[in-house]
Amino acid sequence: MSKIALVTGVTSGFGLAITKTLINNGYLVIGTGRRLPKLNELKQQFQEKFIPLNFDIQNLPETQQAFNSIPQEYQNIDLLVNNAGLALGLEVANKANLDDWQNMVDTNIKGLMFMTRLVLPNMVERNTGHIINIGSIAGTYPYPGGNVYGATKAFVKQFSLNLRADLAGKNIRVSNVEPGLCGETDFSLVRFKGDEQKAQNLYENVNYIKPEDIANIVLWLNQQPSHVNINSIEIMPTAQTFSALNVSKKNN
């Protein structure tokens, strides 16, 4: 029997690549997002192997309603990939837009929390399952302008570990995937609010990670024997490394 995966944010980027990779490897995918035409395209392409769920993950009643609409035969979810998320703006904290901050908290923290709480009881009841959260290196390493985005991914990191603590004695896995710079997604276009030039500049002449690289890692994590839990995995392109610690000199 095919494994059933629920993947959030499948309308572009990682989620889209993860959906294709999982389906190509025999999974059935329930895929979520707000952009209905993109969900319809996936339905057309993958037919009975893909179930679209169209809702805003920030909205709990909408999320619950969508979750409850999953057909009976797809309700035993084996793999939840909490991928939907976004970064907004790159302003320093004293100048950042407060609406952007709320939007990131509502999506990256609350949305991930809602989905996890909805899916987990059935996994516990069946004593099987795997939750793969898409965190970020931004949850570990600070950078200027990363303020709330990085903090939401630090939540994802700690929430993943705390879930493992709650699931002691259960055969349920939780992994946090922490990618670095990855191109060919809508991430930077969303961050810079549609400014294509700014978004493109970031990736120019850089050999960045591709969504397919992350999709392969997600598949590999789930393919490990069911008693093997990879807690976290951090991925960077070789083009990305670390800066020196910042020391400010006195002006005298």
Ligand X SMILES: NC(=O)c1ccc[n+]([C@@H]2O[C@H](COP(=O)([O-])OP(=O)(O)OC[C@H]3O[C@@H](n4cnc5c(N)ncnc54)[C@H](OP(=O)(O)O)[C@@H]3O)[C@@H](O)[C@H]2O)c1
Residues 6+ away with beta carbon under 8 Å from 95: none
Contact characters 34-53, ligand X, x per CB under 6 A: xx------------------
Q: Which residue from 5, 14, 28, 52 is in contact with ligand X, where contact means CB under 6 A?
A: 14
Interface residues for ligand X in 69-108 (CB under 6 A)? 83-86, 107
Query: Pattern 54-73, binding to ligand X, x per CB under 6 A?
Result: --xxx---------------
With CB under 6 A as the contact rule, the residue among 186, 212, 213, 234 that binds ligand X is 186
Q: Which is nearer to ligand X, 35 or 49 (CB)?
A: 35
Q: Output the smallest distance, CB 208 to ligand X, in A.
A: 8
- Cβ proximity to ligand X: between 12 and 222 the closer is 12
Q: What are phi and psi of 217, to 5 degrees?
A: -70, -40
**Which 122-161 residues touch ligand X, going by CB under 6 A?**
134, 136
Q: Name the one residue in this structure whose structure tokens are 């980027």.
A: 13
Instruction: Tell me the window of 32-40, 91-99, 140-148, 222-230 that interacts with ligand X (CB under 6 A).
Output: 32-40
CB-based contacts of 240, cutoff 8 Å, min separation 6? 180, 181, 208
Taking a C-beta distance cutoff of 8 angstroms, is the pair 85, 107 a contact? Answer: yes
Catalytic residue among 74, 141, 149, 208: 149
Give the C-alpha separation, 33 to 38, whole Å: 9
**Half-sphere exposure of 187 toward its Cβ, with a 13 Å CA cutoff?**
23
Return the number of other C-beta atoms located less than 10 Å from residue 35's C-beta. Answer: 14
**74 flagged as catalytic:** no
Instruction: Please say which residue, 61 or 225, places its beta carbon nearer to ligand X.
Output: 61
Distance CA 76, CA 190 (A): 33
Q: Which of residues 206-225 bind ligand X (CB under 6 A)?
A: none
How far, in whole angstroms, is CA 104 from its chain's centroid? 13
Least distance (Å) between residue 136 CB and ligand X: 4
Task: Please check whether residue 214 is in contact with residue 175, taking contact to mean a CB–CB distance below 8 angstroms.
Answer: no
- Cα–Cα distance list, 6 to 84, 165, 188, 222 (Å): 11, 23, 24, 13
Tell me which residue has its CB nearest to ligand X: 13
Distance (Å, whole) CA 208 – CA 64: 36
CB of 34 or CB of 198, closer to ligand X: 34
Give catalytic residues, as residue numbers: 149
Using CB under 6 A, list all residues that contact ligand X: 9-15, 33-35, 56-58, 83-86, 107, 134, 136, 179, 181-182, 185-187, 190
